[in-house]
Amino acid sequence: MRTIEDLDDMALMKEIGRRIAFLRRSSSIKQEELSEKAGISRYALSRLENGTGGGIRLESFLSVLRSLNVLNRMSAVLPEPTLTPLQLAEIEKKGAKSLPKRVRTRNRSTVRVWGDGTPVA
């Protein structure tokens, strides 16, 4: 079974569109009604739902999510960044100008490393 990570950009846009259409239909909302509520054209919404809306603005995409009352789910996709007190002390100790970043290892797990590649303790 393919995961979302296995999809190329076009397939991912189609999957996102399919899910938005599902949310709209399961809420018994017509395209015209949702597009009006989101402040976009029905044509733009149709393209988004068909996965052909590559030119849709992020602002419009967020407006559609807000109109479907699912914008709060974005926290699962983009969680609030947090650092532990130890990580903050490490930043101050190293005088780092940037925060540690996540790097995917060969076994597909993620670790946090500093800009010079040293692991975060």
Over residues 72-82, the pLDDT tens digits come to 988 888 877 77
CA within 13 Å, CB half, 121: 9
For the cut 80, the answer to whether the pLDDT of residue 106 exceeds it is no
Give dist(CA 47, CA 41) in Å, integer. Answer: 10
For the cut 80, the answer to whether the pLDDT of residue 33 exceeds it is yes
- Residue ranges per structural domain of the chain: 4-77, 81-121
For the cut 90, the answer to whether the pLDDT of residue 84 exceeds it is no
For the cut 80, the answer to whether the pLDDT of residue 121 exceeds it is no
Mean pLDDT (the chain) is: 85
Which position has the higher pLDDT, 26 or 112? 26
Q: Record the tokens describing residue 32, joined without a space.
A: 């015209």
Confidence of residue 95 (pLDDT cuts 50, 70, 90): low
- What pLDDT is recorded for position 119? 75
For the cut 70, the answer to whether the pLDDT of residue 1 exceeds it is no
- The fold adopted by the segment(s) 4-77 is 434 Repressor (Amino-terminal Domain) (1.10.260)
Give dist(CA 44, CA 94) in Å, integer. Answer: 48
- What pLDDT is recorded for position 87? 80
Give dist(CA 31, CA 45) in Å, integer. Answer: 7
